[in-house]
Chain A
Amino acid sequence: MVVDVANFATHTLNGIQYGFILFLIASGLTIILGILDVLNLAHGELYAVGAYVAFSVYGYATGLVAAPEGVVGLAVFLVVALLAAAVAAAVLIPLGVLLEALFLRPLYGRDEVYQLVLTFGLLLILKDVNKFIWGPLPVRAGDVYSGINAIPAAEFVGLNFPTFKLVIIAVGALVVVGLFYFFNRTKMGRIIRATAIDREMATAIGVSTDRTFTLVFAMGAFFAGFAGAMALPQSQANLEMGANPLVLSFVVIVIGGLGSLRGAFVGAMLVGVLSRWAVWQYPPAEIAAPFAIMALILLVKPNGLFGTWGETA
């Protein structure tokens, strides 16, 4: 069988952009897990909230730019759309801070079962908040998708591939680089890692764990929301959208090693690309593929691909 090269490239690129979306979600989950020791079941709903808020923000922002025409028009449209996504995600920061201060803080150090119950309760509540604000029907932002796809980027190499997905890949790569820079090179990132390695010691040398926890949770919420905002235009926002990414990001962080950022990146790429290949070759495998990958990897490496986070980012 001859594998069609163009087809192969398309599916691989699809997998990579899917992997970046997964990474954005899973990175938040994994740093929250690594530092706060809380498995945040409501993380998928934060992703959904991001998508819904982005729907409203996109609607407002793209209204500012008339139908994009020409190189300049398209460029302006692209910038406005990306800014809108960032603004939508920024709404998640105060939400995350509030959730952390009101609900999670009293639970640190208590039995992990209660954290699961609480975050599951938050999941249900956030889901209905979405329903209350945006209604039960799915919403979409097709304008942004078609608008950005009007930029003929992939055709330079003779591929028929949506430009929007290329934008996701570019932005995702930027975020990855930014996150690793943040955790390896900046003072704040090192403080966070110090807190992850030894909470008591960090407190003893004057790190406010209180503030670090809030920061980490807000960061996690931000990236979940950003993933939602980036994923919205090519699909739709609906009330059930939080569940699947949540479960998949569990898979991703387990493959990579709990609490490991590098692991989350590798895991997300593996799951993204392999599951798209699976869909391409054998469509019914779509749901099962990530779990099969995870089971296989855990049988070979019981602690995931990378160890616990902290010593290296």
Chain B
Amino acid sequence: MTDHPSTADDPRPLEAWGRSSYLPSTTTHDGERYVRVTRGMVLTPLRVVGWLALLVLFVAVPDIASLSSSIQLRVLHQGVLFGLAAVGLNVLLRHTKLVSFGHAAFFGTGAYTAGVLATHFDVTSMILLLAAATLIGTLMAGVIGFLSLRHTGLYFSLLTLAFGQLLYAIAQGQSYVGGSDGISVRPGDANQATLLGADLAPDVYAVVVYYLTVLVVVVALFVMWRIVNSPFGNALDAIGQDRTRAQFIGIPVRRYVLAAFVLSGVYGALAGGMYGLVQQHVRPESTLYFLRSGEILFMAILGGFGTLIGPLVGGIVLVFLQDVGQDFTNYFDALTGLVLVLLVFGFPRGIVGSLQSGSPLRDRAGALVDDPSVAGDWVQDGADALVAALSRAKRNLVVLVFGVR
């Protein structure tokens, strides 16, 4: 899903792949067999198998979680939701090259909308709660986007951060939404939302909400794939490369960027609404705080912000890492920090990006397989670089303190 053959495997334009049918079929090209899933999405059989395996794994999570106590459905579920928000953020990061540092605002808006409707208006339908969460989050994204997209670069990042913190402050201060205690999402007699009018037992509820999430995520990924491969997505790429040039060739930059911002807000709000349904309680700390915004951003980068599903993977990995780290050591924050530092220096394309062909990590792995002795050279190089950096630091410190001798 991440790339279609017109960019990755095959130089021919998409039109050459035939557009007769909307149903999945197979095509042959250069003697190789490809599976044509839908218009524009043509994959090698291996990839199709890979995607199906991933999907099965995704669907089977509740069963896997029941096998081992170290894997918890709740944790994975949370990771998937933050990952979904990160997929939304990635529209801005990957295509328009805008670093949003306030994405928790939409996540939190979605979650709080669900909470307020459930607590104060007795809305019990899951679908309604989600729809309202998405709607309000979209409006919020429109307002924040309109105000902050007047700027680019760091100003944009800091403005989105400020708006996020403003919402956090409001949520903290208003007793209507429960102040710092937060608000619960427990409508109905069974203290939880209903799906199509059906009340669910607590353990069934968790699994049902999970499957709803899987459905939402699959659809959301597909929609995102469509969008980024549409002319609109290409226009966003052009804007990200050079705003002025995009303006000159007639792309309505401000409108498009705002549209991308709102789109990313929709994903965040949807994920936030689901989060409210899953956790059944929404706190400002866990949904609106600026560290959450940072985490959503880092999920996208950890998973690989050059890819479509990277942010989702990053979300699952980061949340899982934090949860496991909490059991394993008191210093789980440092563990996460270490992972981020390694990420920057070791595999800057993120997890998914590093697995793709042509990435530095793949090249290195290939070289290692060819000749294992290069590992020694790398260790030597790394040690040399470390020693050089340390000695430069020492020299600079001496110069700073004592002046030049």
Contacts and interface: CB of A to CB of B under 8 A. Distances in A.
Size range of the interface on B? 35 or more
Nearest to B341: A121
Describe A's contact surface by its main secondary structure: helix
Main secondary structure on chain B at its contact with chain A? helix
B6 interface: no
Contacts of B165: 247, 287, 291
Contacts of B333: 124-125, 127-128, 131
A124 B170 CA distance: 26
Given A105-B389, A124-B336, A125-B337, A113 B397 contact: no
A33 B331 CA distance: 29
B345 A288 contact: no
A118 interface: yes
Given A117-B301, A122-B337, A131-B330, A211 B93 contact: no
A242 B338 CA distance: 19
B155 interface: yes
A117 B345 contact: no
A123 to B, nearest CB: 7
Interface stretch (A91-99, A146-154, A161-169): A91-99
A211 B397 CA distance: 9
B271 interface: no
Contacts of B163: 291, 295
B337 A214 contact: no
Contact of A288 (B166, B390, B401): B166
B128 interface: no
B158 A254 contact: yes
B331 A131 contact: yes
A230 to B, nearest CB: 22
A128 B396 CA distance: 27
A292 interface: yes
A192 to B, nearest CB: 12
Interface in B351-405: 386, 389-390, 392-393, 396-397, 399-401
Interface stretch (B10-18, B194-202, B289-297): B289-297
Nearest to B395: A211
A250 interface: yes
B147 interface: yes
A207 interface: no
B172 interface: yes
A93 B150 CA distance: 38
B348 interface: yes
Interface residues on A, range: 35 or more
A131 B330 CA distance: 9
Nearest to B330: A131
A298 interface: yes
A294 B147 CA distance: 12
Contacts of A101: 389-390, 392-393, 396
B389 A298 contact: no
Which of A97, A121, A295 has its CB near the most chain B CB atoms (within 10 A)? Answer: A121
Contacts of B291: 243
B310 to A, nearest CB: 13
B112 interface: no
B337 A102 contact: no
B159 A258 contact: no
A214 B334 contact: no
B162 interface: yes
Given A122-B337, A250-B158, A287 B169 contact: yes
Contact of A93 (B153, B172, B392, B400): B400
Given A122-B337, A123-B337, A288-B173, A116 B396 contact: no
Interface in A45-96: 93-94
A101 B161 CA distance: 29
Contacts of A305: none
Given A128-B337, A132-B331, A102 B344 contact: no
B340 interface: yes
A142 interface: no
B127 interface: no
Interface string B141-156: 0000001001101110
Contact of A124 (B334, B386, B392, B396): B334
Contact of A250 (B162, B339, B396): B162
Of listed A128, A211, A218, residue having the most chain B CB within 10 A: A128
Contact of A98 (B166, B168, B344, B393): B393
Interface string A108-141: 0010111011101111110111011000100000
Contact of A117 (B151, B162, B343): B343
B279 to A, nearest CB: 22
A113 B348 CA distance: 10
A214 B393 contact: yes
Given A210-B396, A288-B166, A106 B345 contact: yes
A118 B393 contact: no
B162 A291 contact: yes
Given A101-B393, A107-B344, A128-B331, 20 more contacts: A102-B386, A121-B336, A121-B338, A127-B334, A129-B334, A131-B333, A211-B396, A214-B393, A214-B397, A214-B400, A215-B400, A218-B397, A243-B290, A286-B169, A287-B173, A291-B165, A291-B169, A292-B166, A302-B151, A302-B155
Interface of B: 93, 99, 101, 147, 150-151, 153-155, 157-159, 161-163, 165-166, 168-170, 172-173, 290-291, 294, 297-298, 301, 305, 330-331, 333-334, 336-341, 343-345, 348, 386, 389-390, 392-393, 396-397, 399-401
18 contacts: A33-B154, A39-B154, A97-B397, A98-B390, A106-B345, A112-B154, A113-B301, A113-B305, A114-B348, A121-B337, A122-B341, A124-B334, A214-B393, A243-B291, A251-B162, A291-B165, A295-B159, A299-B147
Q: Which 4 A-B pairs have the closest CB atoms?
A: A124-B337, A121-B340, A101-B393, A287-B169
